[in-house]
Amino acid sequence: MDRIRIVGGAPLNGRISISGAKNAALPLMIASLLTSETLTLENTPRLADVAQLKRILGHHGAEVTVEGRRAAQDPFLGDTVRLTAAEIVDTTAPYDLVSKMRASFWVIGPLLARMGEARVSLPGGCAIGTRPVDFFLTGLASLGASIDIDSGYVVAKAPAGGLIGGRVVFPKVSVGATHTVLMAATLARGETVIENAAREPEIVDLADCLIKMGAKIEGAGSSTIRIQGVNALSAARHSVLPDRIETGTYAIAVAMAGGDVLLEGARYDLLESAFDVLVEAGAEVTATNEGVRVTRNGHGIAPVTVTTAPYPGFPTDLQAQLMALACRGKGRSTITETIFENRFMHVQELARLGARIHLDGDTATIDGVEKLTGAPVMATDLRASVSLVIAGLAAEGETMVNRVYHLDRGFERLEDKLSACGATIERVAG
């Protein structure tokens, strides 16, 4: 099993290309099941989760091809993927596929809307909380679907004539449920109103793509989305938006290690809350025509107080990375996690590097230390794994991060991007 070896102490200087967003690419790929025509997605990241979803879509009958790359192209430029689900050959998403990636459960929306039925295994994914699918199911039921649970599978059936537009009110903001109901509603008869919808940029990106396919959607990016159902969707071409979590991760890495890095292709507007926190911590963050520039030269890291929240608040997917940064802060930081109840598994691994962190329920108190010391550590989930890399960049000596398959799920060639900016980091084959 591969590992990542880091020798800390080097500042980061140069340019890092930001990949297409994993959290946008996955629902966009799933949306291909809504039409018999071809959906072409540009800037698709080359990640383990994307590869897994290609296999899942192939199981349902979609033909997935990647356009050829020219030798002179930027090696970090995303793929152009063509997805054609001319015929759905199977409306069952089996356990052995769905259990490997939680987002694959979202196929239930397009399958139900297009085929009138779906049988989808209850999901797996990172162990960072229970993340129940109740909101998904009540949302689909609001569109007229009957829902049953049978031997670990959700069995959903639309009424005769297909799904019917309705009013969906989520008791709590859910990105996955918003994605799923939004896709299903595009083919439902009449109007669907989603209230307390997630406002994340990835929701807007999906809505923009669906509109290109012929859907009628208003309000994406707000808490109320209106969808007028259509009879069918058609072919479209769409570019995946840049990954704001990757952007924030590398911005925090620069704040941790020091230096001056241009995050090429990044969009400042997608991550303003996180950038505000980084500035408070002592970094300089500037929007440019090419992306976002992050610098920290000679100044210490100031403590911060942060609470994670749905967009536009501070992202839960950057909580672990920020905690790594706070470990070197000159004072006491507090981070409160409100999205997932079990997202502090990185704490014990950061402690192995010398971090001083106290947990009390959903709040972590971090007392900054003068130095971190390299040690072998174990990745526990996708975002926790990269927090260990960030800590290793500033630690004295060698840090070896084990179980890096978590990293490969969400970060494209992370070690190459960081080493190009001066970090001493390499992948060690297991």
The answer to the question of whether 54 is labelled as a binding residue is no
Question: Does 327 participate in catalysis according to the annotation?
Answer: no
The answer to the question of whether 175 is labelled as a binding residue is yes
Q: What are phi and psi of 255, to 5 degrees?
A: -60, -35
The answer to the question of whether 230 is labelled as a binding residue is no
State the Cα–Cα distance between residues 308 and 316, nearest whole angstrom. 5
The answer to the question of whether 100 is labelled as a binding residue is no
Hey, is 374 helix, strand or coil?
Answer: coil
Cα-Cα end-to-end distance for the chain: 4
| b/e burial code for range 163-184 (CB count within 10 A of at least 16 → b) | bbbbebebeebbbbbbbbbbbb
Measured in residues, the chain has a length of 430
Catalytic residue among 126, 209, 327, 421: 126
Task: Please tell me the number of Cα atoms within 13 Å of 347 on its side-chain side.
Answer: 18
Residue position matching structure tokens 């859907």:
215
- C-beta of residue 5 within 8 angstroms of C-beta of residue 377: no
Nearest in space to 289 (alpha carbons), one of 261, 319, 262, 326: 262
The answer to the question of whether 36 is labelled as a binding residue is no
Beta strands in 312-393 (DSSP E): 332-336, 356-360, 363-367, 376-378
- C-beta of residue 163 within 8 angstroms of C-beta of residue 112: yes
The answer to the question of whether 425 is labelled as a binding residue is no
How is the beta sheet containing 398-402 ordered, strand by strand?
A: 376-378, 398-402, 3-7, 424-428
H-assigned helices in 39-118: 48-60, 95-98, 108-115
Cis ω for the linkage preceding 312 (within 30 of 0): yes
The answer to the question of whether 317 is labelled as a binding residue is yes
Nearest in space to 393 (alpha carbons), one of 379, 420, 372: 372
Nearest in space to 238 (alpha carbons), one of 267, 256, 272, 212: 212
State the Cα–Cα distance between residues 35 and 84, nearest whole angstrom. 8
H-assigned helices in 186-303: 201-212, 244-257, 272-281
List, as residue ranges, the binding site for UDP-N-acetyl-alpha-D-glucosamine. 102, 172-175, 317, 339
Q: Which residues are known to be catalytic?
A: 126
List, as residue ranges, the binding site. 22-23, 102, 172-175, 317, 339
List, as residue ranges, the binding site for phosphoenolpyruvate. 22-23
